[in-house]
Chains A and B, each alone.
Chain A
Amino acid sequence: MRDLLLAIGLILSTGLSAPAFEVEQERIFGDPDGRELTILSTTDVPAIAPVLEAFASANPDIRIRYMQASSIEVYRAIHDEQAEIDLVMSSAMDLQMKLANDGYAASISPDPGGLPDWARWRDQLFGIGLEPVLTLASRRGLGDLPPPRTRRDLIAMLRENPALFDGRIATYDPQRSGVGYFLISQDSGQSEGFWRLAEVMGRLNGQLYCCSGEMIDDLRAGRITIAYNVVASYAARYAPDDPDLIRLVLEDYTFAILRSALVPVNAPDPKLATDMISFMLTPEAQRIIAASAGVAMIPGTGPRPSVYMRPIRLDAGLLVYSDQLRRDGLLAEWNAAMVQP
């Protein structure tokens, strides 16, 4: 079915000279006849719509063509296909960094507002919002068990209650999801205990998902009990106030990844894209983004990050995660841990 859809997509794309990369969703904001700003992003439409609408109403002669795609597709579109996109937003920090390093990002000078230094990379990559990576648990699924506070607690809980959690624990599939791969690479670098967790998840027939949304859906439907590594803004959006959902901010560490924006060197309208970035860094836009993520990137625009939170900096070191050899090594390790005989 998937292959068929892909084939149809390919035929359509060649026939209509539509982008060769796979777009999951596309929407137009603002004046249909206005000056076009093309945005390619990993952020799903509902999360960003208020910001785009605010920009469109502030600039009535603008038409925003917003395309949402997976992080790997976003990277491919720019790196391999040099698609004509004005603005690229992605939460896959390593891929964004690689785009900037390999010379695909233009040097721009938006008004950075109160953007902290760690949230930008020179004049090419600009942080747009923090996205905490949480562990979600279903209250019903846990039963009488107390919610774990650390990964150690989580591992112990899983080990002690194999019957309760067998096939009911979920996480990203790093093979399919760029964010998923990035998160396990961060996890593995952060703590040796992560591999123990992976092994436990493997033993319990952990479920692998492509996207946060599906994980949350299954969690709420009661098909799974624990979702490890869920991007918080999804959780906030898909289950704004579900009393069954417990958001666990694990106290040993909780990552916050940075959604970042860049303007490709071949952007048709870099000026407009720069204006868009400036707009997204204004306090009002930041307040919308922080409200959705539950944490503020620019101090003063929303809730402060919890003390357990470790925002990942935009740093040249991120380049190492996109190395093929390293990736192969890490995925081999992951498979060894997850897929058990």
Chain B
Amino acid sequence: MRRPITARPAGFSLRRRLVWQFATLSVLLVVVLFFAVRLAAERASRASQDAVLGAAVIAIGDGIRPVEEGLSVDLPYAAFSMLGAMGSERIFYSLAIGPRLVSGYENLPQPPVAPGDLSPVFYDAPYHDSQLRLAAVTRRVLLDDSLQEVTVVLGQTRNGQAAIARETARSAAWVGIGFLLLAVPMALWAARAVIGPVDLLAGAVTRRGPRDLRPVRHPAPRELVPLVAALNGFISRLHSTLQLTETFIFEAAHRIRTPLSLVRVEAEIALSETDEEETRARLRRMLRAINESSRSASQILDHATVLYRSEQFEPASLDLGQLTACVLRAVDPIAEMREIEIVSSGLDLPCPIQGDERMLEVAIRNILDNALKYSHDEGRITVTLRQSDGRAALLVEDEGRGLAPGDDRLSGRFRRGSNVGDVVGSGLGLTIVEEAATAHGGSFILQSRAEKGACAIFYLPLA
């Protein structure tokens, strides 16, 4: 049997591509997650810390009041305490009237724009060796009979905020990495889920018999339906082409056989009417060729019959013994002509099977034909019907030349034994038998006997 030709790989594996895509997507997701969470956390913590900082600077501003000696500020303990509780931040503040520092830290960065209304202005600026987030408000105070503007600046480092954002983003990244680790087996699983039905379909198609040209009805996922449809379309085209060919062959064989019979009759008459030795020899050779052709034609017909019937297989209950007896009676005249004795046994026992009568008849006749063909004149053929292990075995043994060593597969179409050059034959007989056996769920074996001759065994399951 020839090995099926595999498709040329397109240079990539669907599975690997799927896994790679999945993994790449996950990595991308982790990176995006890390930065997105970091940004969000930074914004959220910045907003909440700004709110506290703003409240604190307003509280300081509200504590400013003029006294006789100048300015009095009641720095709110609670506001500083709250700022300190927000994380490990350092706190700086300054109160200034214009450029003059009244209290607090010197050279604290002043707001880029003067705070106009009551709400504080927020800004970032470096101070000494740290980066500060600052809030500033101004309050108008009556000092020495003139309205003076006091600017309150409150700043804090944001190391804790950055750390919180980093920490949050890092935990998000860990979640992402966990997802990534899960993604690889998930991708493999997904790839298998996708490839699985394709494999199943391929398996179902591969397991089919060589003559099984029924459309594929295996359940397939929606995405594979077009492929299955294409496959079925292809199968049906193949089927019809094959049918056309077989019909043509059947037709051709049929049309050849009838005129061949006529030619044979004419040749036989001519043979009986002529005395001329040379002409007779010629006629005999002609007859032999005609016989060969006519036999081939009828075997082609048989073969076509078996093929047709195995496709439209509709088994009926029948008795293999009776059927065999029937065929034996049909071949009896040929056997008698060559004085070959056919001994049968076991045919009278009931042997119920499910099968196609016409196909089985063709098969058995071909087995017997084969046996007769290779038997010597006055030889003996033994036909035995046995039943065991739920199957029936029809043994046909002859005393002919048997099989040449190495000829163990003779059922291929037009294949003949290596020791049969002198015997008329098309090589289709055993093909017919094997195909009939396969169609019935049975099998066919042809083997050499120990002493001489061959033994054909035709197995069929019992009903």
Residues of A within 8 A of B (CB): 101-103, 122-123, 189, 315-320, 323-326, 328-329, 332
Contacts and interface: CB of A to CB of B under 8 A. Distances in A.
A103 B81 contact: no
Interface in B113-153: 128-130
A320 B77 contact: yes
Interface residues of B, number: 27
Interface string B55-88: 0000000000001010111111111110111001
A316 B69 contact: no
Contacts of B90: 101-103
B91 A325 contact: no
B84 A316 contact: yes
Contact of A317 (B74, B77, B130): B77
B88 A122 contact: yes
A316 B81 contact: yes
B196 interface: no
Nearest to B87: A122
Contacts, number: 59
A122 B92 CA distance: 17
A319 B93 CA distance: 10
Contacts of B79: 317
A325 B71 contact: yes
13 contacts: A102-B90, A103-B90, A189-B77, A315-B81, A317-B81, A319-B84, A319-B91, A320-B80, A324-B104, A325-B102, A326-B73, A326-B74, A328-B69
B77 A329 contact: no
A103 B91 CA distance: 10
A317 B104 CA distance: 14
Given A315-B80, A317-B77, A318-B77, 6 more contacts: A103-B129, A316-B83, A317-B81, A323-B75, A323-B104, A325-B73
A326 to B, nearest CB: 5
B77 A326 contact: no
Interface string B83-107: 1110010111001000000111000
Interface in B431-453: none
Contacts of A189: 77
Contacts of A316: 80-81, 83-85, 91
A317 B80 contact: yes
Nearest to B86: A316
Contacts of B95: 325
B305 to A, nearest CB: 97
A188 B88 CA distance: 28
Nearest to B67: A329
A150 to B, nearest CB: 24
A139 to B, nearest CB: 38
B104 to A, nearest CB: 7
